[in-house]
Each structure stands twice: as structure tokens, then as C-alpha cells.
């Protein structure tokens, strides 16, 4: 009984023990918060990548020896077990110019990058089956920028074309990422030029390149929530894409949606479908690269995960460092309590009992510190965005910049099991490093301790 | 002084307890000796002491400074191990006991009172006095017996006139009051042996006298054998017998 009783009394009467509790608490809180936010980032990043790509992407290569048709390709892929739907898409880089403005503006270094686009040529009905296009069309922040009909996004009434002269020109429609619209002050009904390099004649002896330009009417915006995508990508219809770019190929890539039970959770299942597609295409002589969404973004996802782990290790060391406060606290305390140790022995406390008194001190400090840190960290993670908003409005700064992070809310994912583990490791580590002064206290010769001045 | 210190020289009598008028033998030491080594030199601090103590008996130990009185007291109370000799307390032979067994026996049988009180500054009077009982009971036990233990400590403190000082910290109490807490603490576990090392050495004459009479009275009432190390002949005169520590040996005062 005396062990805990005395340990509690020793602790509550010493200010340094509160300091140690606070230090461990702050460290544990920092670790938990950073870990949760990094996990949130990872989750958000995965979700975003997931949303802007398909479960599996097949990139066929043009082949002179065995030319393939889009129909053949799609049929083969759909035939694979676990595949639900496919859509063929074209992808091509382009620059654009808002109709009626001067090209000179593009010389500005700002424009030089913001005018670069990735143009995707899609079949809306197929695309809606495979990707989240429908949701992105609905998620547009400014209703004035939305497409008129998300079911038929490219249908844009001629009467709404702003430049009357273009109303009867039979121009293609373009759907842009909302951030492009906002950055360039674009509205539905406006016209813009898309410029790209055509493939040219593959059999020409001289390398040649030619530009191709066409005017498109802005039909509306989409919003993936992923800034990089929303500031870069535009959709045009497949047929319009072919006419504009002069492409001879049937598809740049084929997006594949697998059945929900495989797609949502099971990375191994996804790999299996991927391999099956590869085999099927190879058997048919179609050269293609088949990748799951994880394959395609592995480096980026690994980088985020790596960053998280490095931060966790650094902060883990920080936590362990604060645990050494308990060590120095206990060492000083044993020094100070030599006479108490003597009298404890005289009253019949065993060496182990005396060790336990001091062990309990370090255990309590680390335990309370760990619990405090866990509670504070968990609370902070839950209210992280309120805290962020509070700080932002208090100091008039923007902590979380949309253009840097692609999300405005801080994503945080609570991992209570991990939080508990952090607290437990803190306690165990403290007790382990504090066992030295505690054992020293127990081993002290009681007679020497009593004679201690 | 290199000859075996265990040999009791001729003519030195065993400081045996008087035969009649007291209770059972609670402590029996045979030829216990202690030698301190300091590098190549060694000092025989205690050389072959034999002594018997009976319940209810009060013994004073005198001797000049450095004679080995404290060392002897520590050995009698199982805080220190004699190099040679045998020591039994409450009928238990202690030589072969482990550290833990010695601690448990000390907890049950021995109460110490020191010159400098040695109270816990973080605890109040009552908590200080009840500490030996806390040591003998585990947490599970304590919930059952804690109340009785506290009552026992409180009774002792009241008996010593500290009824209105139960919640005071040692720093809020006078030297005499502190020493009374130490006496209560030494007696709380019903020890058969009360060992005091200059209990009044740090107190003024008047207070010392009060503490002395309380100490002797309490030891007698609670049936413990009392050993008091002192430099004070008046205190020694209160004892049933006085032993002199001289040159590491214990001699009956004539
Ligand atoms: N740890 C030790 N190492 C070496 N010598 C020691 C040690 N402890 C005590 N001594 C020596 O043992 C002798 C006896 O010491 P002790 O404290 O028993 O004397 P004492 O009779 O109690 O004296 P006093 O009346 O001053 O308290 C002293 O000479 C002391 O120097
Ligand atoms: Mg002494």
C-alpha cells in the first residue's frame, strides 16, 4: 500500500513532476496530431487520386503489325472477370486562348503556365459509367458555372453562346475544371481556342510538327476538389477531339471499373484483374501497359506515406526525449530522499518495495503525461478545423492554402488504437529508463542512508 | 587487531537479562561482531557482543562517541548484518534470512526511533505514524484494515498528547512533537523491540525529559523491550539496567 501512497505524495508535492507530465503530454499530443493529419492527408490524397483516375488504366500502344480497334480492345477488357465497365479516352496536352483576347498575354510568365491544359476526349455516356464525372459536375461551387444538364454535359444551347457570330458555327463544347474558369474569368457561353501539336506524318523523312487550333464553346465546369486537376484538365467530346487533334489512334487510354467488392478494398484482387487484362491483351497481340490506380500513383502515395513515417519517427524520438525528463526528475529525487529510503528500510520496507515507490513515480508521471497527451491530441484532432479557423481569424493568416494543399479543410484521421499504443510505449519507456535510479534507491544500504547528511 | 573478533575475551560477561520479573526473551545476540574495512585498514567496531532482552525490559546503552553504539543498534534491528555471531528475534534465527525476510521481520518485530526523527515531510502526523502498517499490508488488504490501522496510529498519537496535531506536517511541528510522532510510528505495529538511538539528543533538557518518560511509559505499556542509546546519565538511570559500550564490547555497569 505504501508504494503507491508514498509515490503519489512525492509526486503531488513536487512542481517538476507537473512539468514532466506537461512535457510528455505535449510531445504525445504532437505525435498523435501529426500522425492523424498525415493519415488524413494520405486518405484524402488516395481518395482524390482514386476519384480522378479509374481502378485500372490500360494504355495501348499503336502497332503497325497488329492494329487494334477500339471495339476490339473494349470487348476484350470487358470480358475479363471482375471488370464492370470501360471507357476509352483521348489525352493530349494543349494551350488555350480565350476567344477575342490577344496572344500577347501568353508571354506573361504567369500565363505561360496557367494556359497549359490537359485535354481529355471522352464519350460522356461511357465516362459516366466508369468515373465520377457525374459527381464532379454536380460539385461545382458556383452554380453560374455549372453545366446545364449533368446527364448530357456537352449539350449547350446555341442561344446561350455569347458571341452571336459563333452560334451557327457548329463548334464543339468544352467542360473545364472550375479553377481554370475562376482564374481566367470564364463563363458558360464564352469561346476559347484550344491549340495542340498534331502528330504529323509518321513516314516523313524530316521531323515535322504542326499546330492545330480550334474554337470551343465553354459548356460549364467540373470540380474534383483536387486543385491540380481542376486547374489543368478540360473535357471535350471524343469526336470533337479527333477532329481537333487529327489523331489516328483509337484511344490514348482505357479506363476500367472493376466490381465494387474488388475495387474498394482489395489491392490484391485489383492486381489480379490487372494481370488478367494484361494476359488477355497479350494473347490477342495488342501491346499495352496495364496499371492499377495504385501502380500509377505509387511513387506519390509512397512519398506521402514516407513523409508520414519520417515525421512519426522524429516525433517519436521527441516523445522519448521528454521521457528522459522523468529520468532526471527521479535521479534527483532519489538523491534528495536518501534519508526517507533509510527510514523506509528501518520500518521494514523491502528493497523491491523501495524500488517500486520510485518506479511508481516515473510510471505515474509518464502515465498521466501519456493520458493527457492522448486526450489533448484526440480532442485537437477532432476539432482541428475549428482550431485552425480560430487561429486564422485571430491572426488574420491563412494556415492552410488551397493552392498548396488542394484541400482547405485539414484532413485528420483518428487512430485510437495507435494513440493508445503511443501512450503505452511512453509509459513503458519511462519505466524502463527510470528503473536505474529506482533500482539504485532499492539497493541503497539502509545504514548509509540513515547516516546520510 | 587482526585476531578473530568473534572470540569473546575471558572475563567479559554476557549481558544477560535478569531472570525474573519480565516476559519472554525477545532478542538474543551471541557474539555478534562488525568490522569496517577502509582500504588496507580495518576497524573492529563491534567485537563479540552477546545480549539478551526480555519483553517489557528497558535497557540503556552508553559509551563514548564512536564506540559502536549505533552500529550495534542497527545490527540488533536487522538493518545491518553482523559479520559473525548469531542473532534471534522473537525466536527467529536471523542469520540465514534473505533481505526480504529480514525486512518483513523488522517490520513486524522492530520499531526504530532516531535522533533526527526521520519523518516524511510530505505526510502529516497520522500518515507518518501509520506508515509501518502500510508497509505490512498490500493495497487489497488495506481497504479492509486501513481504518483500524489509522485508528491504532491515532490512539498512539492521542496517548502521546498529539490529538490536536494529527493533520499537521512535520514542518509545522516542534522537535518534541516530531519525536513523539516517531515514537508512535515505532510502536504502531506492536513491535516486541523498540530501538532508540539518542532519542532526546536533539531536544532541550525539559522536552527531552518529557519525551523520555513518555518513551519508557509507552514501551512498558505496550510490552516492548526498549533499548535506548544515550549520553544522558539521567535517562540511563530510568532504565532497568545500563550497559556500557567500550572498545567494541558491551559491559554491565556495576
Ligand atoms: N560505513 C562505515 N565505514 C567505516 N567506518 C564506519 C562506518 N560506519 C561507522 N563507522 C565507524 O564505526 C565507529 C562506530 O560508529 P557508531 O556510529 O556506531 O558510533 P556511536 O557509538 O554511535 O557514536 P555516537 O555516539 O557519536 O553516535 C566509528 O568510529 C565510525 O567511524
Ligand atoms: Mg550513534
In chain B, the percentage of residues whose pLDDT exceeds 70 is: 91
> Is B211 in contact with B199 (CB distance < 8 Å)?
yes
Residue A401, pLDDT score: 67
Task: Please tell me the residue having the least CA distance from ligand 1 atom 5.
Answer: B36
Residue B132, pLDDT score: 92
Residue B227, pLDDT score: 92
Whole domain around residue A420: which residue ranges? 2-46+301-451
Count of structural domains, chain A: 2
Task: Please tell me the residue having the least CA distance from ligand 1 atom 16.
Answer: B68
From B5, B63, B71, B200, the mutation candidate for ligand 1 (largest count of ligand atoms within 8 A of CB) is B71
Question: Is the per-residue pLDDT at A195 higher than 60?
Answer: yes
Question: Is the per-residue pLDDT at A60 higher than 80?
Answer: yes
Residue of A nearest to B76 (CA): A346
Note whether B103 contacts A: Cβ–Cβ < 8 A: yes
Task: Please tell me the residue having the least CA distance from ligand 1 atom 13.
Answer: B66
Q: Where are the beta strands (DSSP E) in chain B?
A: 25-38, 41-54, 58-62, 84-89, 92-93, 110-113, 193-197, 225-229, 241-246, 249-252
Q: Looking at the CA of B230, name the nearest ligand.
A: 1
Residue B92, pLDDT score: 86
Residue of B nearest to A11 (CA): B122
List the single best residue of A346, A352, A361, A447 to mutate versus B (max B Cβ within 10 A): A346
- From the list B180, B190, B126, B119, the residue with the least C-alpha distance to B153 is B126
A287 and A367 in a single domain? The answer is no
Question: Is the per-residue pLDDT at A62 higher than 60?
Answer: yes
A182 and A313 in a single domain? The answer is no
Boundary of a domain, candidates A296, A331, A356: A296
Residue B5, pLDDT score: 40
Chain A contacts to B (CB-CB under 8 A): 1-2, 4-6, 9-10, 13, 339-340, 342-353, 446-447, 450
Residue B2, pLDDT score: 41
Q: Please, is A65 exposed, middle or buried when counting C-beta atoms within 10 Å of its C-beta (0-12, 13-18, 19+)?
A: exposed
What's the pLDDT band for A120 if we cut at 50, 70, 90? very high
Residue B253, pLDDT score: 62
Boundary of a domain, candidates A296, A331, A358: A296
Residue A265, pLDDT score: 65
Average pLDDT along chain A: 85
A65 and A168 in a single domain? The answer is yes
Report how far ligand 2's centroid is from the alpha carbon of B197 (Å). Answer: 7
Distance CA A113, CA A99 (A): 18
Minimal Cα–Cα distance from B253 to chain A, Å? 28
Residue A256, pLDDT score: 92
Note whether B48 contacts A: Cβ–Cβ < 8 A: no
Q: Which contiguous run of DSSP H or E holds residue A344?
A: helix A338-346
Q: A59 phi and psi, to 5 degrees?
A: -110, 100
ipTM over 0.95: no
Residue B21, pLDDT score: 53
Residue of A nearest to B119 (CA): A340
Cβ contacts of B136 on chain A, cutoff 8 Å: 348
- From the list A177, A1, A6, A190, the residue with the least C-alpha distance to A101 is A190
A290 and A306 in a single domain? The answer is no
Minimal Cα–Cα distance from B254 to chain A, Å? 32
A188 and A141 in a single domain? The answer is yes
Check CB contact under 8 Å for B80 and A447: yes
Which of A108-117, A423-432, B134-143, B212-221 comes out lowest in average pLDDT? A108-117
A125 and A210 in a single domain? The answer is yes
Question: Is the per-residue pLDDT at B13 higher than 50?
Answer: no
Check CB contact under 8 Å for A350 and B103: yes
Residue B239, pLDDT score: 85
> Is B87 in contact with B29 (CB distance < 8 Å)?
yes
Question: Is the per-residue pLDDT at B14 higher than 50?
Answer: no
What's the pLDDT band for B11 if we cut at 50, 70, 90? very low
Residue A406, pLDDT score: 58
A286 and A383 in a single domain? The answer is no
Residue A91, pLDDT score: 93
Could you identify the atom of ligand 1 that is nearest to the CA of residue B63? 21
A276 and A337 in a single domain? The answer is no
A66 and A194 in a single domain? The answer is yes
Question: Is the per-residue pLDDT at A114 higher than 90?
Answer: no
pLDDT in tens, A235-277: 999 999 999 988 888 889 999 998 887 766 667 888 889 999 9
Residue B56, pLDDT score: 85
β-pairing, B249-252 with B241-246? antiparallel
Which of A125-134, A150-159, A378-387, A394-403 comes out lowest in average pLDDT? A394-403
What's the pLDDT band for A188 if we cut at 50, 70, 90? very high
CB atoms within 10 A of CB A450: 23
Q: Would you put residue A428 in left (φ > 0), alpha (ψ -120 to 50) or beta?
A: alpha
Boundary of a domain, candidates A296, A319, A342: A296
In chain A, the percentage of residues whose pLDDT exceeds 70 is: 91
Residue of A nearest to B72 (CA): A447
Please give all residues whose beta carbon lies within 6 A of any atom in ligand 1, as ranges: B 36, 38, 43, 45, 63, 65-71
A30 and A128 in a single domain? The answer is no
Residue B16, pLDDT score: 47
Distance CA B156, CA B165 (A): 12
Higher model confidence: residue B9 or residue B101?
B101
Cβ contacts of B122 on chain A, cutoff 8 Å: 6, 9-10, 13
Report CA-CA distances (Å) from B118 to A82, A120, B129, B135.
Answer: 80, 86, 12, 16
Q: Annotate A209-246 with DSSP letters as a single string.
A: -EEEEEEEEEEEEE--S-HHHHTTEEEEEHHHHHHHH-
Question: Is the per-residue pLDDT at A135 higher than 80?
Answer: yes
Residue B1, pLDDT score: 38
Higher model confidence: residue A364 or residue A248?
A364
Check CB contact under 8 Å for A345 and B108: no
Question: Is the per-residue pLDDT at A16 higher than 80?
Answer: yes
Q: Looking at the CA of B114, name the nearest ligand.
A: 2
Minimal Cα–Cα distance from B10 to chain A, Å? 31
A274 and A131 in a single domain? The answer is yes
Residue A452, pLDDT score: 79
A67 and A96 in a single domain? The answer is yes
Amino acid at each position: 500500500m505504501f508504494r503507491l501512497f508514498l509515490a503519489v505524495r512525492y509526486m503531488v508535492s513536487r512542481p517538476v513532476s507537473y512539468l514532466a507530465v506537461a512535457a510528455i503530454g505535449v510531445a504525445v499530443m504532437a505525435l498523435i496530431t501529426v500522425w492523424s493529419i498525415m493519415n488524413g492527408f494520405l486518405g484524402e490524397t488516395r481518395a482524390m487520386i482514386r476519384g480522378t483516375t479509374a481502378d485500372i488504366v490500360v494504355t495501348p500502344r499503336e502497332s503497325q503489325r497488329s492494329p487494334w480497334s477500339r471495339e476490339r480492345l473494349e470487348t476484350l477488357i470487358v470480358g475479363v472477370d471482375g471488370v464492370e465497365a470501360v471507357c476509352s479516352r483521348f489525352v493530349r496536352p494543349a494551350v488555350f486562348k480565350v476567344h477575342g483576347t490577344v496572344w500577347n498575354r501568353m508571354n506573361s510568365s504567369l500565363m505561360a503556365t496557367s494556359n497549359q491544359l490537359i485535354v481529355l476526349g471522352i464519350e460522356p455516356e461511357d465516362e459516366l459509367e466508369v468515373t465520377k464525372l457525374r459527381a464532379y459536375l454536380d460539385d461545382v461551387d458556383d452554380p453560374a458555372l455549372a453545366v446545364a444538364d449533368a446527364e448530357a454535359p456537352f449539350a449547350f444551347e446555341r442561344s446561350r453562346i455569347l458571341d452571336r457570330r459563333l452560334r451557327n458555327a457548329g463548334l464543339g463544347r468544352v467542360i473545364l475544371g472550375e479553377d481554370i474558369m475562376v482564374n481566367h474569368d470564364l463563363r458558360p457561353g464564352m469561346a476559347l481556342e484550344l491549340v495542340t501539336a498534331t502528330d504529323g506524318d509518321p513516314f516523313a523523312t524530316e521531323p515535322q510538327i504542326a499546330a492545330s487550333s480550334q474554337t470551343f464553346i465553354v459548356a460549364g465546369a467540373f470540380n474534383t476538389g483536387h486543385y491540380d486537376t481542376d486547374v489543368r484538365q478540360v473535357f471535350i467530346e471524343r469526336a470533337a477531339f479527333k477532329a481537333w487533334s487529327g489523331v489516328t489512334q483509337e484511344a490514348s487510354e482505357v479506363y476500367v471499373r472493376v466490381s465494387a467488392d474488388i475495387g474498394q478494398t482489395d489491392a490484391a484482387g485489383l492486381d489480379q484483374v490487372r494481370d488478367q487484362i494484361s494476359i488477355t491483351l497479350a494473347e490477342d497481340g495488342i501491346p499495352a501497359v496495364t496499371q492499377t490506380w495504385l501502380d500509377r500513383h505509387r511513387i506519390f502515395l509512397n512519398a506521402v506515406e514516407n513523409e508520414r513515417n519520417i515525421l512519426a519517427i522524429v516525433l517519436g524520438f521527441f516523445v522519448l526525449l521528454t521521457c528522459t525528463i522523468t529520468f532526471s526528475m527521479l535521479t534527483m529525487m532519489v538523491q534528495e530522499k536518501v534519508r526517507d529510503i533509510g527510514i523506509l528500510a528501518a520500518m521494514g520496507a523491502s528493497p523491491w518495495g523501495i524500488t517500486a515507490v520510485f518506479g511508481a513515480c516515473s510510471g505515474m508521471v509518464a502515465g498521466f503525461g501519456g493520458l493527457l497527451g492522448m486526450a489533448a491530441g484526440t480532442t485537437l484532432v477532432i476539432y482541428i478545423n475549428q482550431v485552425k479557423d480560430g487561429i486564422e481569424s485571430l491572426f488574420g493568416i491563412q494556415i492552410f492554402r488551397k493552392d498548396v494543399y488542394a484541400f482547405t479543410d485539414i484532413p485528420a484521421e483518428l487512430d485510437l488504437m495507435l494513440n493508445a499504443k503511443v501512450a503505452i510505449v511512453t509509459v513503458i519507456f519511462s519505466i524502463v529508463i527510470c528503473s536505474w535510479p529506482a533500482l539504485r534507491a532499492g539497493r541503497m544500504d539502509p545504514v548509509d542512508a540513515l547516516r546520510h547528511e | 587487531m587482526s585476531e578473530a573478533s568473534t572470540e569473546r575475551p575471558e572475563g567479559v560477561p554476557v549481558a544477560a537479562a535478569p531472570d525474573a520479573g519480565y516476559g519472554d526473551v525477545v532478542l538474543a545476540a551471541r557474539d555478534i561482531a562488525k568490522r569496517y574495512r577502509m582500504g588496507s585498514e580495518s576497524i573492529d567496531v563491534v567485537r563479540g557482543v552477546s545480549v539478551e532482552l526480555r519483553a517489557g525490559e528497558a535497557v540503556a546503552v552508553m559509551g563514548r562517541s564512536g564506540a559502536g553504539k549505533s552500529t550495534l543498534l542497527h545490527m540488533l534491528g536487522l538493518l545491518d548484518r553482523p559479520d559473525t555471531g548469531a542473532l534471534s528475534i522473537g525466536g527467529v534465527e536471523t542469520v540465514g534470512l534473505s533481505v526480504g525476510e529480514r525486512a518483513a521481520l523488522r517490520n513486524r518485530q522492530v520499531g526504530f526511533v532516531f535522533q533526527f526523527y526521520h519523518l516524511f515531510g510530505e505526510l502529516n502526523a497520522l500518515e507518518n505514524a501509520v506508515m509501518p502498517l502500510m508497509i505490512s499490508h498490500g493495497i487489497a488488504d488495506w481497504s479492509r484494515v486501513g481504518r483500524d490501522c489509522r485508528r491504532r496510529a491515532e490512539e498512539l498519537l492521542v496517548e502521546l498528547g498529539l490529538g490536536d496535531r494529527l493533520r499537521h506536517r512535520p514542518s509545522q511541528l516542534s522537535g518534541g512533537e516530531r519525536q513523539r510522532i516517531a515514537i508512535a510510528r515505532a510502536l504502531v505495529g506492536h513491535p516486541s523491540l523498540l530501538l532508540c538511538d539518542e532519542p532526546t539528543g536533539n531536544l532541550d533538557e525539559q522536552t527531552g525529559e518529557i519525551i523520555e518518560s513518555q518513551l519508557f511509559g509507552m514501551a512498558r505499556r505496550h510490552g516492548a523491550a526498549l533499548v535506548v542509546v544515550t549520553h544522558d546519565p539521567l535517562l540511563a538511570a530510568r532504565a532497568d539496567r545500563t550497559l556500557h559500550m567500550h572498545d567494541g564490547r558491551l559491559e554491565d555497569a556495576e
